[in-house]
Amino acid sequence: MKKNWVNLFVALLLFIPLRFLQVSIDYSRKLEDLETGLLLLPGQAAGSLVLSGFKGLAADLLWLNVEEYWHSGQHYKMLPLLEAVAWLQPTYVTVWAVGGWHMAYNIYVQVGQDESKISEAFQKQQETWSAGDRAKYEVLVEAVRENKAILQQLDKKGKTDELVKDYLSRLEKYQARIAALEEKEADKKLVETVKTLLEIPRNKIFWYRQGVQFLKKGITYNPDKYDLYFELGWTYYHKGMDYPNAVKYLEKAIKHPHPDYVDDVLAHAYEKNGQIDRAIAQWEYLITRAPSFRSIAERMIHDLKTKGKATP
Amino acid sequence: MKKIWVIAQNTFHESLRKRTLYIVLVFGLVVIGASKFFSFLTAQEELKMIQDVSFSAIEFFGALIAIFGALGAISSEIEKRTIYTLLSKPITRYHFVIGKFVGQILILLVNFLLLCLFFVGLLLFKKSVPNIEIFKALFLIFVELLLISSITLALATFTSDAFNIIFSFFLYIVGHLTSYGRQLIERTENIILKGLGDMLYTIVPNYENFAIRDKVVVGVPVSWQYVGKTVSYGLIYIVIAILIGIYCFQKREV
C-alpha cells in the first residue's frame, strides 16, 4: 500500500514538468503561427465543430456555403462567410484571393447590372415630358448623362485614387442639385430613379476598394507567400488600371518563390506604368528564367524598342 | 514484461472480436472516402477538403475507438469475473493496468494505420504526394488518441462506464478549449481566480496542442521542435494517467 502512494506522488510531481512544457508549447504556437482565434459562428453544426477543435472542417462547411451562394448569385451573403472562413484559417490564401476577386470583380459587376434597364426606363419617360418638364428636370438628364460617363471612365480610365476623387466630386455636385430639386414639387419616383443610378458608380468604387482591402488584410496574415501580392497587383493592374500600385505589389510578389506568369504580368505592368526600360529588362529576364516565354518576350521587346508600346 | 505483453495480446484479441470497433472503423473509412465527392470544387480546394475531412475523421473516429476500447477494458473483466482468475495468478494490478493500456495501443495502432493508409491512398489517387507535414499531423493525432485512451482507462479503474463515457467526451471538448480558457485567465486580475485557472490549465489535458492539422492543410510548416515538445507533453500526461489509474485500481475492491 505504501508503494501505491508513490504512484500518486510521482503522478502529481510530473505535473510540474508538464506545466513548463505547456508554457514552452504555448510560446512555440505563438512563434510558429499555430494559434487560431475563437469565433462564434452562425449555424449549429459549424459552431459545434469549432468547439470540438475541427476548425478546418468548419471552414470547409462554410466554404461550401460560399460556393452555393456564388452559384446562386447571392454574392452579398458570401461576405460574412468569407470573413468567417478567413478568421478560422487566416493562412488559407485561397479564401483571401477568392474573396477579394468576388468583391472587386463579381459584386462590382452585379451592383451595376440594372443600370442600362433603369437608364432605358428613364429615357422612355423623358419622351413623355412636356416642355415645362424638360426645363424642370434638366438637372436629372445631365446627372444621368454624367453618371453614364463616369461608369464608362471607371472601366476605361481606371480607379486610381485621383480618378476616384474626381468621379466622386462630380457625383456630389449633382447630388446637391437633385436635393434642391426634391424640395420643389418634383416627381418623387423620377428623382429616386436618378438617385439609384447615381449610387451605382459609388457602389462600384466601394466594392473595388473592399476587394483591395480584403486582399491587403490577407497579406498581413500571409506576408511570406507570393499569392496575395500577385492577386492584389493583378487587381490593381487589370481592374483598377492603377499601374503604380500594380508594380508595387507585383515587385513584392516576385521576392517570394513564384510561377513564371508573375514575371510576365510585372513586365506588362512596367510598360503600362511608363517604365519601358524596366519592362524590356523584365522581358529579358523572363527569357532566361522561362524559355517557354521566349517567343512572346522577344516580340514584346521588339515592339517596345520600336514602337514604345507592346501590350494591346 | 512478459506478463504485461500477455495481457496486452489478450486485450487486443478481445477487441478484435468486438463489432463496435469495426463499425466505427467502417464509418471512418466511409467518411474519408466521401471526401472524394468534392470534385465540383477546384483541384486545390478539393485537396484541402479531402485533407480536412480525412484528418477530422481519423481524429474523431480514432477518439471513438480510443474511448470505447478503453471503456470496456477493465469493466468487462470485472463484469465477467475473469479478473479474479487473472489476479489470482502471479499478475499484479500494476501489470494488469499497463497490459490493458499496451493492448489499447495495439488496437489504436491497427485502426489508425488502416485509416491513414486509406487517406494516403486517396491523396495518391488524386495525384498528390503527401509531404512530411501531413505525417507530422498524423503522428500528433496518434499521440493524442493514446492520451485519450490512457485517460479513459485511468477513469475506468474507479468509475462506472456511464460516468466514464460522459466525462471522457466532456474532457475531449474541454481539452480543445483550454487555450481559449488561457486567454481568459490572462485577463483576470483576481489572484485566486488566476491561480485556480492556472492550475486547471495544467491539469486539464490540452488536446489543442496536438491540433496542427488545420495549419498543415493550408501549408503552414510545423517545426520538429514543436512536434518533439508536444509528443513529450503527451507521453508525460500518459504516464500520469496510467500512474493514477494504477493507484486507483490498487485501492479498488474487486
Average pLDDT rounded to a whole number, residues A13-40: 81
Average pLDDT over residues A38-47: 52
Of residues B253 and B172, more confidence is placed in: B172
Q: Is the pLDDT of residue A38 over 60?
A: no
**Residue B14 pLDDT greater than 60, yes or no:** yes
Backbone phi and psi for residue A33, each to the nearest 5 degrees, phi listed first: 60, 45
Cα-flanking dihedrals φ and ψ of residue B242, to 5°? -65, -40
Q: Give the residue-averaged pLDDT of B157-185.
A: 84
| A292 in reach of chain B (CB within 8 A) | no
Provide mean pLDDT across the span B44-55. Answer: 85
* Residues above pLDDT 70, as percent of chain B: 97
A236 pLDDT higher than 70: yes
Spatial distance between the Cα atoms of B133 and A157, rounded to a whole number of angstroms = 47
Examine the pLDDT at A51 and tell me if it is beyond 70: no
Q: What range does the domain containing B58 cover?
A: 2-251
CB of A18 less than 8 A from some CB of B: yes
In chain A the first and final C-alpha atoms are separated, in Å, by 89
pLDDT of residue A214: 95
**Helix (H, G, I), strand (E, B), or coil: what is residue A154?**
helix
Residue of B74, B141, B68, B77 lying closest to B107 (CA atoms): B68
The one-letter code for the residue type at A307 is K
- Whether B223 shows a pLDDT value over 60: the answer reads yes
Cα–Cα distance between B1 and A307 in angstroms, integer?
A: 86
Residue of chain A nearest B227, judged by CA positions: A25
The answer to whether A103 and A214 have CB atoms below 8 angstroms apart is yes
pLDDT at A11 over 60: yes
The candidate with the shortest Cα–Cα distance to B252, out of B152, B159, B165, B163, is: B159
C-alpha–C-alpha distance, residues B63 and B108, integer Å: 9
Residue B93 grid cell: 494490478
pLDDT interval class at B40 (50, 70, 90): low
pLDDT computed for residue A47 by the predictor: 58
pLDDT of residue B178: 80
Chain B interface includes A249 (CB < 8 A): no
HSE toward the beta carbon, residue A1, CA cutoff 13 A:
2
Q: In the structure grid, which three cell numbers stand for residue A299, read together? A: 516580340
Q: How confident is the model at residue B128 (pLDDT cuts 50, 70, 90)?
A: confident
To probe the interface with B, which of A9, A14, A21 has the most B CB atoms within 10 Å?
A21
Give me the architecture of the A241-312 domain, per CATH.
Alpha Horseshoe (1.25)
Answer yes or no: is pLDDT of A135 > 60.
yes
- Shortest Cα distance from B156 to chain A (angstroms)? 16
Interface subset of A 19-48, CB within 8 angstroms of B:
19, 21-22, 24-26, 28-29, 32-36, 38
Q: Name the CA radius of gyration of chain A, rounded.
A: 28
What is the model's pTM? 0.74
Q: For chain B, what percent of residues have pLDDT higher than 90?
A: 32
List B residues 55-84 in contact with A (Cβ-Cβ < 8 A).
55-56, 59-60
For residue A2, the model assigns a pLDDT of: 57
pLDDT at B153: 93
A-contacting residues in B 215-254 (Cβ below 8 Å): 215, 217-223, 225-226, 229-230, 232-233, 236-237, 239-240, 243-244, 246-247, 250-251
- Please tell me the distance from the alpha carbon of residue A248 to that of residue A203, in angstroms, as a whole number: 26
Q: What digits encode the pLDDT tens for the residues A60-109? A: 888 888 888 888 878 778 888 888 888 888 888 988 998 999 999 988 99
Q: For residue range A250-283, what is the model confidence (pLDDT) as tens digits?
A: 999 999 999 999 999 999 999 999 999 999 999 9
DSSP chain B: -HHHHHHHHHHHHHHHT-HHHHHHHHHHHHHHHHGGGGTTS-HHHHHHHHHHHHHHHHHHHHHHHHHHHHHHHHHHHHHTTHHHHHHHSS--HHHHHHHHHHHHHHHHHHHHHHHHHHHHHHHHHTT----HHHHHHHHHHHHHHHHHHHHHHHHHTTS-HHHHHHHHHHHHHHHTTHHHHHHHHHH---HHHHHHHHHHHHHS--GGGG--HHHHTTT----HHHHHHHHHHHHHHHHHHHHHHHHHHHH---
Better-scored residue on pLDDT, A309 or A41: A309
Residue A8: list chain B partners with CB under 8 A: 243-244, 247
Which of the four pLDDT bands, split at 50, 70 and 90, describes residue A125?
confident
Domain ranges of chain A: 1-35, 37-89, 115-206, 241-312
- Is residue A32 within 8 A of residue B222, CB to CB? The reply is yes
Q: Is A312 exposed, middle or buried (0-12, 13-18, 19+ CB in 10 A)?
A: exposed
Per DSSP, the three-state class of A157 is: coil
Q: Is the pLDDT assigned to residue B6 strictly greater than 90?
A: no
A52 pLDDT more than 70: no
| A38/B218 touch (CB, cutoff 8 Å), yes or no | no
For residue B183, the tally of other CB atoms under 10 A from its CB is: 11
Residue A272: its pLDDT value, please? 92
Q: Which of A35-44, A190-199, A267-276, B49-58 has the highest mean pLDDT?
A: A267-276
**Please, what is the end-to-end C-alpha distance for chain B in angstroms?**
24
B44: chain A residues, CB-CB within 8 Å = 94
Residue B80 has pLDDT above 60, yes or no: yes
Nearest CB to B233: which of A18, A54, A94? A18
**pLDDT value for A292:** 87
- Name the pLDDT band for A217 (thresholds 50, 70, 90): very high
Confirm if B97 and B246 have CB atoms less than 8 A apart: yes
pLDDT at B72 (0 to 100): 80
pLDDT above 60 (res A195) = yes
Following CA atoms A143, A145, A147, A151 in sequence, which dihedral angle do they give, to the nearest 10 degrees? 180
On average, the pLDDT of chain B sits at 86
Q: Which of B170, B236, B188, B186 is nearest to B209 (CA)?
A: B236
Q: What is the pLDDT of residue B11?
A: 84
Q: How far is CA B213 from the centre of its chain?
A: 15
DSSP A239: I
C-alpha grid cell, residue A174: 449633382
Mean pLDDT of A118-145: 83
- Residue B184 or B146, more confident: B146
Mean model confidence pLDDT for chain A: 86
A63 by Cβ neighbours in 10 Å (0-12 / 13-18 / 19+) ranks as buried
What span, in angstroms and rounded, lies between the C-alpha atoms of A136 and B58? 73
* Percent of chain A with pLDDT strictly greater than 90: 42
Amino acid B238: pLDDT = 96
pLDDT of residue A46: 55
What type of residue is A32? E
Domain count, chain B: 1
Q: What is the pLDDT of residue A49?
A: 57
Predicted pLDDT of residue A268: 94
